[in-house]
């Protein structure tokens, strides 16, 4: 019986699963009995987070892989790692990401190019690799983390917002293609407002009005609403119902107003 349970345990691959939104999703999925495959940059962080999570869930199976996901070839490396483990991935969550803020001429171009490789190139490749596997099996789900900034050009976060616009449009288009072909595989796009995690520190935005505003949500709220949307077969979700309603109103504004609103929230 034990071997059967292990065999049919759902397997979820989460990039950036050891912190922030990824860790909140991991806790929620652990409660559902998922096996977790984590990929993140820091090996020490992965091991510490795994130890903490297994205190709460002693039977939890967690496999970790330290990897720079902004490096060329990272997606193929991760895909081969999961193949070697021998666990078909039932749910892929492309969560890893970081930000860069400031006037475009004052930001570090190498930092921003690494961000683009992570948000665009690696996410694209991971989605392609695992989508192909899921289509062959006839089952699977993909969750791609975009951002509320995907909906409007965002002064002060110009490159970040543009990268998340790619994530949103790419993911929504693929989900439509899958539905059109009557495939059981689905892609969910998640567009959270600011979340207080290590993201703000790495983007040098800890003192930004954006991360101290009424729009801020917790990682746990993002995880809860994401899995609820996944269960309901949704294509896109903005975590927190109040913010969903606000978005319906704001999205009807002219683009120049949207840019003004985004700039105001950024303190620009």
Strand order of the β-sheet with 236-237 is 62-66, 35-40, 11-15, 91-94, 141-145, 186-190, 236-237
Geometric angle at alpha carbon 172, from 214 and 233, rounded to 5°: 80
In which residue are the tokens 């289509």 written? Answer: 135
Query: Is-catalytic flag, 151?
Result: no
Of the candidates 226, 176, 163, 200, the residue with the CA atom closest to the CA atom of residue 14: 226
Q: What are phi and psi of 101, to 5 degrees?
A: -125, 160
Among residues 65, 129, 160, 176, the one annotated as catalytic is 160
Q: What are phi and psi of 69, to 5 degrees?
A: -75, -10
Taking the C-alpha atoms of residue 223 and residue 27, their distance in angstroms, rounded to an integer, is 9
**Burial call 199-210: b when 16+ CB within 10 Å, e when fewer:** bbebbebeebeb
SS3 assignment, position 239 = coil
The kind and range of the H/E element at 217 are: none
Residues labelled catalytic: 160
């Amino acid at each position: 019986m034990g071997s059967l349970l292990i065999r049919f345990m759902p397997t979820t691959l989460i990039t950036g699963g050891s912190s922030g939104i990824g860790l909140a999703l991991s806790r929620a999925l652990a409660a559902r009995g998922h096996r977790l495959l984590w990929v993140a940059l820091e090996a020490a962080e992965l091991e510490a987070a795994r130890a903490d999570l297994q205190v709460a869930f002693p039977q939890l199976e967690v496999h970790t892989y330290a990897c720079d996901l902004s490096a060329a070839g990272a997606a193929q490396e991760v895909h081969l790692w999961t193949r070697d483990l021998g666990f078909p991935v039932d749910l892929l969550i492309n969560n890893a990401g970081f930000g860069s803020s400031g006037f475009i001429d004052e930001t570090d171009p190498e930092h921003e190019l690494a961000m683009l490789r992570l948000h665009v190139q690696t996410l694209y490749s991971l989605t392609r690799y695992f989508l192909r596997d899921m289509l062959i099996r006839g089952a699977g789900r993909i969750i791609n983390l975009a951002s509320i900034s995907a909906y409007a050009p965002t002064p002060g976060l110009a490159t970040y917002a543009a990268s998340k616009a790619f994530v949103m449009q790419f993911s929504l288009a693929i989900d439509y293609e899958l539905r059109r072909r009557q495939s059981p595989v689905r892609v969910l796009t998640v567009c959270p407002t600011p979340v207080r995690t290590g993201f703000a520190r790495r983007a040098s935005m800890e003192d930004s009005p954006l991360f101290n505003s009424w729009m801020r949500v917790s990682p746990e709220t993002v995880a809860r609403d994401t899995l609820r949307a996944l269960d309901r077969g949704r294509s896109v979700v903005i975590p927190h119902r109040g913010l969903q309603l606000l978005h319906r109103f704001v999205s009807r504004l002219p683009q120049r107003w949207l840019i003004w609103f985004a700039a105001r929230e950024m303190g620009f």
